[in-house]
Structure 1
């Protein structure tokens, strides 16, 4: 096989698909974790309630439970992957647009039901997009493809976290909601234009085989103890920054910043930070490998949390807001690239959808359940002590690298696990 040039590995249709599907995956999540909290806070909903609403993100944690169904059954249109992509994206457009009809001060229960449905459809979209991406990318393009995907995922946050926030400062919140829904057309159009990745006959022949075999293979690849360590590490690696960013929009508002200032200053800084982090991380991983990237990027990820400690002490200051948010998301971008690459290498191509759903579900446990308590913690100890706590909670994941990805290891543990495939 002829070795590809760097240009051939980067400039191809597969990378473009990773970009557009990444944007489509990220948009509904950032609606839920950035725009909805600001919308509720503007309606004077208390922080404890807003924090608890993070529990509606539970589908991201449990999506591996229904991923075998999406693996086993093929819809009668567009194919095994594209059919499910089309259904989930169409549902998301309708649900996201419908939020424009509700008022948080009077219809909080209905809003919670709607955002729960958005969370379910979004997690389901992620299942099939993750599987599709793994199936179209050859092994030598995994790093670049996942980096492009992660970057587009982050860039999508610019819509609910910046554009819609600015619109909310000049127009009714309903206009902002509708503007976010329109951007979901990026994913829908992509689904209609791309080719199916799965060949006829690839789907498991029975639901039992779709459910049992992926989990059996993962836990028997080496032994169940090592598999358990991998799952625990995935939970702990981004625990600190998941907590720190859970209620960052209400945090900015409580520091005295308006929605326009948040949408322009903070969001632009975060986008730049995440962009630099993802691109720099993707390129650096070519030389560093997964193990050392997890160490270096994880260390920066922890230190970046301290920027929010400084902002909580300084208060209303545009420069500190820009620096703190930019630094935080530079760390988030670096850490995300390393973790996604680690998870991609952990999957067996024969069981992509369910195994990737399992690992990515595990990865969002901090964002879903731990983050739900952040409102109570902040109201008890204040912002400064809370962000110091986030820093401390980030340390165990780094300590686990000694076993999971030793610095001087000759090769990544996951590569060893998959060599026999």
Structure 2
């Protein structure tokens, strides 16, 4: 009996210790259904984009289309930069399955049909039709992103934004295994038409997500008119931040990933030009890119719990900038398989870290009340360099060569880092987009 009494205070002391309390908060932030849902939002959201930036360029190059034309194909991604124009509609018009789930399901069904039809077109004699169908895929994909990003913003608590968005981004990258690895390997065995049908079938993952998950609780919006739907999200941000911080934040969103996006824009044609086979690219290059980026993103999410978003943007941005230089080394060396794997692994470690912090920053800047519109605007700006600047990459490579091109990409990554002095100072305390509002919880 004495022994039992002596143990009880010790047990209580252990349970109530600061270390135990910190571990409890940490485990709650990591292991829950909200974080698990982010895995499936990433898988559904990433696959269409990787089809456009990895599989379609490989298909065109394999069919004999020039690098300049392939580079111009980046312009079909313009819907990713325009999506904020129709995002207010998706913030207000509720479909039968729900405001978020309804739009997710509708766009996913459209993606399955558009991707399957894309592979039935001859890329050489019907290049314009290929561009049109790829544009339609981009419209459905960008619209799906609007719905999924809004769903995730409403689902996650503020303290989960770093890790939840990191998990989303890494699942997003895992989805590249389908168009960037499996589909390329199948292209050595099957006709391209069948490859696109198989790729389209993987969007059923998104359909399953939309059917199974619950609709989150939405913040109440009193004025449902069209004018309010368009103006209110922007006036809301101006009230919270002000004009100058808004301008700096928007410019930062354009520039932070500029060099990184350009460096990887023509990755698959670059590997083919170096002399690697499609199977080597599918088995080695894609996996060397995928797993380090996943590791970097997940570790980045955990680091952000400790350091915060601001400091993570600084640290991860430096790694991202330096890793771009590895492509210049590879271009100068030639088709050495182990070097290919090493350079890509380091590059995508930086990509994973940088993207995790950048996506968390965007989520922090968005409010729950206007999640679809504000998140769409911010991610559209982030996609702007991928669409416009990347359309010039083919011309730049033809005129500069691969080595000089990658050095230029590293230089273009510097301005975004400098803007961190104002938008995310190292010593600054991060604020959430809803710091003036009571938190909204999701319905589970």
Q: What TM-score does the superposition give when structure 1 sets the normalisation length? A: 0.96
| Aligned residues of 1:81 and 1:198 also touching (Cα < 8 A) | no
Counterpart of 1:280 (choices 265, 279, 299) is: 299
What residue in structure 2 maps to residue 419 of structure 1?
435
Structure 2: how far apart are the matches of 1:406 and 1:260? 45
Map 1:51-62 → 2, pairs under 5 A: 51-62=71-82
Structure 1 residue 189, shift from structure 2 partner: 0.7
Counterpart of 2:289 (choices 267, 270, 283) is: 270
| Aligned residues of 2:119 and 2:194 also touching (Cα < 8 A) | yes
Counterpart of 2:66 (choices 46, 62, 65) is: 46
Structure 1 residue 51, shift from structure 2 partner: 0.5
Counterpart of 2:327 (choices 308, 314, 321) is: 308
Structure 2: how far apart are the matches of 1:203 and 1:234? 30
Deviation track 1:113-153 (CA, whole Å, cap 9, x = no partner) reads: 11000000000000010011111112222222111111100
What residue in structure 2 maps to residue 105 of structure 1?
124
| Aligned residues of 2:254 and 2:385 also touching (Cα < 8 A) | yes
| Aligned residues of 2:368 and 2:434 also touching (Cα < 8 A) | no
Structure 2: how far apart are the matches of 1:330 and 1:282? 13
What residue in structure 2 maps to residue 192 of structure 1?
211
Q: Is 1:255 aligned to residue 271 of structure 2? A: no
Q: Where in structure 2 are there 5+ consecutive unaligned residues?
A: 1-20, 438-444
Structure 1 residue 71, shift from structure 2 partner: 1.1
Structure 1 residue 378, shift from structure 2 partner: 0.3
What residue in structure 1 maps to residue 110 of structure 2?
91
Q: Secondary structure at the match of 1:367?
A: helix
| Aligned residues of 1:163 and 1:263 also touching (Cα < 8 A) | yes
What residue in structure 1 maps to residue 382 of structure 2?
363
Deviation track 1:262-289 (CA, whole Å, cap 9, x = no partner) reads: 0011001001111111111111111111
What residue in structure 2 maps to residue 335 of structure 1?
354
Q: Is 1:182 aligned to residue 201 of structure 2? A: yes
Structure 2: how far apart are the matches of 1:73 and 1:178? 31
Counterpart of 1:138 (choices 157, 162, 169) is: 157
Q: CA RMSD in A?
A: 1.6
Structure 2: how far apart are the matches of 1:228 and 1:363? 14
Q: Secondary structure at the match of 2:119?
A: helix
CA, structure 1 residues 299+201, in 2 after alignment: closer, same or farther (shift >3 Å)? closer
Structure 1: how far apart are the matches of 2:157 and 2:114? 35
Structure 1 residue 83, shift from structure 2 partner: 0.9
Counterpart of 1:13 (choices 30, 33, 45) is: 33
| Aligned residues of 2:322 and 2:410 also touching (Cα < 8 A) | yes
Deviation track 1:321-343 (CA, whole Å, cap 9, x = no partner) reads: 10111111111111100101111
Deviation track 1:157-191 (CA, whole Å, cap 9, x = no partner) reads: 11100010111112211222122111100010111
Deviation track 1:24-50 (CA, whole Å, cap 9, x = no partner) reads: 000000000001000000011111111
Structure 2: how far apart are the matches of 1:28 and 1:204? 34
Structure 1 residue 419, shift from structure 2 partner: 3.0
Q: Secondary structure at the match of 2:308?
A: helix
Structure 1: how far apart are the matches of 2:264 and 2:62? 18
Comparing 160-169 and 197-206, the one that deviates more: 197-206
Structure 1 residue 205, shift from structure 2 partner: 1.6
Structure 1 residue 6, shift from structure 2 partner: 2.8
Q: Is 1:26 aligned to residue 46 of structure 2? A: yes
CA, structure 1 residues 200+6, in 2 after alignment: closer, same or farther (shift >3 Å)? closer
Q: What TM-score does the superposition give when structure 2 sets the normalisation length? A: 0.91
Structure 1: how far apart are the matches of 2:320 and 2:196? 31
Counterpart of 2:56 (choices 7, 11, 36) is: 36
